[in-house]
């Protein structure tokens, strides 16, 4: 099979999460396409006829309810019993927003989308689409008579994950709501909340010019960038030097490399009222940044990044890729990223590649190419140093939704053929199964099926927003979708030679930002957590970052940017060697 384009004998695509998402996405696209038949056919300005008359300026939250009020002016007479529906934006907002009530004095409320558990969201979506609320007119309504509608909802904790409301109307006894009237979409914005902390994000090691980039960000409780009411004075401390800066929302600094290990410290010098009481309560603490280690490892730089996150290019994602790259580089100050959207098309892959290439900052910020391949018996993310690769989902190998165990020999033949470009496959959430169930009670997808070691599974995601996969002991804190027998230790015992990564699996274009899933355990996990991968690389550019990942010079972190240098007999992490009783492990952690 080496050097040839394979013909895969069995073309039956397994029913897995990827196919389910694709199916639901197709349903949504068809629904939206039909809904487009709307105001244009009526010949009216739909945007002017559907407007938001009250915007509560909703902020990121876990449980605070807000109310929006709409006004719709129908462009024709409506008979008694006509149905008015509100529909949402996409599957991600469907999952993240919670709708409480919808009412109008002109109509009877027939349906309001109930709060649906994550495990039931896909089934509910398949049955109801993006329907939020359905109302029925009490009496006939003349053309141009306004209808007022109030919608109560709890927005998500991700600022910017905005909903878009479309109104559809059908007449009595008409079974198709999408062929009569539909409006332009109205955005429901979710803004960052009140400032509660200062985030300090530093490069872990200086660059080649001896500079350390540090970003200070005023954040709400969920890690969204927000701002103080007015610029305030902060006292900064670095390497025995103190100075003050003015900061209201974000500040990017370039500092000289520390002599050994440095940590930027920041303290707010708050204004006070005439009684001497601080007018900025909650910012009295001293904030300390992560360690910056100048002499960490001769010839190497440390960098942190996220290899597992999603955008609007995933059927169950939201958020622009460009915004995600900005967030990684200019908020969390990461050194590298690779988006991993589900099954990108040729068009979205081309757009992704263009954005990743244009956002490269050689020496400071590196981007790689990746996508997620989900199946019923395991989820792998594939990564490449080049965009033009045979193993893209629309490429000649057609591996989409194929269980990893069933294509292992095929991919191993590809991996060991030196004429092919390199790739990595990284399994994730291996030791859990889907909480969503089929009609007969079976999980929609099962725990990962490890078989035997190979040359292309060189890394494994130890933890992410769904939990820690290191061992089979169940964590009482944040893993409830548990299926013993597919832990990282199980993989090692079967001969997989893997380094460790941490990934967020964020679905709102915020690489690195993780949050406990499922919802019932969220009160036990910080609401602004980070799940990241650390690497030792020669420089922070695409080639050297790829080499560090391929050589397994990695470690995984959650809510820390600890620097870890682990060796045996002076061999770096990721090396393969024979050990004896006299072998000496050493670890330096900062």
pLDDT tens by residue, 134-184: 999 999 999 999 999 999 999 999 999 999 999 999 876 555 544 467 788
Q: Is the pLDDT of residue 333 over 70?
A: yes
- Which of 454, 371, 373 has its CA nearest to residue 414? 454
Q: pLDDT at position 516, please?
A: 62
The pair of structure tokens assigned to 155 is 């927005």
pLDDT at 496 over 70: yes
* Per-residue pLDDT at 477 exceeds 90: no
Domains in the chain: boundaries: 36-188, 301-589
In the chain, what percentage of residues exceed pLDDT 70?
84
Assign domain 301-589 one CATH number from 3.40.50.150, 3.40.50.2300, 3.20.20.140, 3.40.640.10: 3.20.20.140
Mean pLDDT of the chain: 87
Least confident of 86-95, 236-245, 535-544: 86-95
**CATH no. for 36-188:** 2.60.40.10
pLDDT digits (tens, 9 = 90+) for 3-16: 333 333 333 233 34
Residue 560 has pLDDT above 90, yes or no: yes
- 65-91 per-residue burial string, b: 16 or more CB within 10 A, e: under 16: ebebebebebbeebeeebbbbbbbbbb
How high is the pLDDT of residue 475? 59
Q: What is the mean pLDDT of residues 198-213?
A: 96
Lowest mean pLDDT among 33-47, 200-214, 339-353, 508-522: 33-47
> 166, 72 in Cβ contact below 8 A?
no
Per residue in 450-465, pLDDT (tens digit) is: 999 999 999 999 989 8
Given strand 50-54, what is the order of strands in its sheet? 50-54, 66-72, 147-154, 98-103
Give pTM, 2 decimals.
Answer: 0.89
Q: Which of 443, 475, 452, 445 is nearest to 462 (CA)?
A: 475
The reported pLDDT for the residue numbered 182 is 77
CA distance linking residue 260 with residue 263, whole number of Å: 10
Terminal-to-terminal C-alpha distance of the chain: 47
pLDDT in tens, 536-558: 999 999 999 999 999 999 999 99
> CA 404 to CA 380: how far, in whole Å?
7
396: CB partners within 8 A, 6+ apart = 5, 6, 390
CB contact at 8 A, 90 and 310: no
């Amino acid at each position: 099979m080496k050097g040839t384009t394979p013909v895969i004998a069995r073309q039956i695509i397994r029913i897995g999460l990827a196919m389910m998402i694709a199916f639901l996405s197709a349903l949504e696209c068809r629904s939206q396409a039909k809904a487009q038949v709307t105001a244009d056919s009526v010949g009216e300005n739909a945007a002017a006829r559907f407007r938001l008359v009250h915007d509560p300026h909703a902020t990121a939250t876990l449980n605070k309810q807000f109310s929006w009020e709409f006004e719709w002016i129908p462009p024709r007479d409506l008979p008694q019993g006509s149905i008015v529906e509100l529909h949402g934006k996409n599957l991600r907002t469907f999952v993240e927003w919670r709708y409480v009530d919808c009412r109008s004095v002109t109509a009877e409320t027939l349906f309001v989308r109930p709060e649906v558990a994550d495990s039931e969201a896909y089934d509910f979506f398949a049955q109801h689409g993006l329907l939020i609320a359905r109302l029925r007119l009490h009496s006939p309504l003349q053309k141009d008579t306004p209808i007022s509608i109030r919608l109560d909802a709890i927005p998500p904790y991700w600022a910017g994950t905005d909903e878009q409301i479309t109104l559809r109307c059908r007449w009595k006894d008409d079974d198709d709501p999408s062929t009569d009237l539909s409006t332009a979409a109205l955005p429901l914005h979710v803004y960052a909340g009140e400032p509660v902390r200062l985030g300090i994000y530093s490069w872990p090691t200086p660059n080649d010019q001896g500079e350390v980039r540090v970003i200070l960000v005023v954040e709400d409780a969920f890690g969204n960038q927000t701002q103080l009411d007015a610029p305030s004075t902060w006292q900064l401390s670095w390497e025995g030097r103190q100075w003050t800066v003015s900061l209201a929302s974000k500040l990017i600094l370039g500092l000289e490399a520390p002599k050994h290990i440095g940590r930027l410290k920041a303290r707010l010098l708050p204004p006070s009222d005439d009684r001497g009481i601080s007018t900025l309560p909650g910012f009295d603490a001293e904030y300390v940044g992560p360690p910056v280690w100048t002499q960490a490892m001769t010839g190497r730089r440390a960098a942190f990044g996220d290899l597992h996150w999603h955008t609007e290019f995933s059927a169950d994602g939201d958020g622009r890729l460009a915004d995600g790259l900005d967030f990684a580089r200019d908020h969390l100050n990461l050194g590298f990223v690779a988006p991993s959207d589900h099954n990108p098309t040729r068009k979205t892959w081309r757009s992704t590649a263009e954005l990743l290439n244009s956002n490269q900052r050689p020496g400071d910020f590196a981007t790689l190419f990746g996508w997620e391949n989900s199946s019923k018996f395991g989820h792998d993310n594939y990564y490449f140093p080049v965009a033009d690769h045979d193993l893209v989902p629309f490429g000649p190998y057609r591996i989409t939704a194929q269980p990893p165990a069933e294509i292992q020999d095929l991919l191993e033949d590809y991996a060991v053929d030196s004429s092919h470009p390199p790739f990595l496959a990284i399994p994730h959430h291996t030791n859990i199964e889907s909480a969503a169930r089929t009609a007969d009670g079976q999980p929609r997808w099962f725990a990962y099926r490890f078989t035997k070691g190979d040359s292309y599974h060189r890394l494994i995601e130890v933890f992410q927003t769904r939990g820690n996969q290191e061992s089979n002991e169940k964590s009482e804190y944040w893993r409830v979708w548990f299926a013993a027998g597919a832990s990282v230790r199980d993989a090692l015992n079967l001969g997989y030679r893997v380094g460790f990564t941490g990934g967020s699996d964020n679905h709102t274009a915020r690489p690195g930002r993780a949050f406990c899933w499922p919802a019932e355990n969220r009160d036990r996990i910080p609401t602004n957590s980070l799940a990241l991968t650390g690497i030792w690389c020669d420089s922070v550019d695409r080639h050297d970052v790829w080499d560090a990942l391929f050589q397994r010079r990695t470690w995984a972190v959650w809510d820390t940017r600890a620097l870890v240098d682990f060796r045996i007999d002076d061999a770096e992490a990721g090396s393969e060697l024979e050990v004896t009783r006299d072998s000496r492990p050493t670890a330096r952690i900062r």
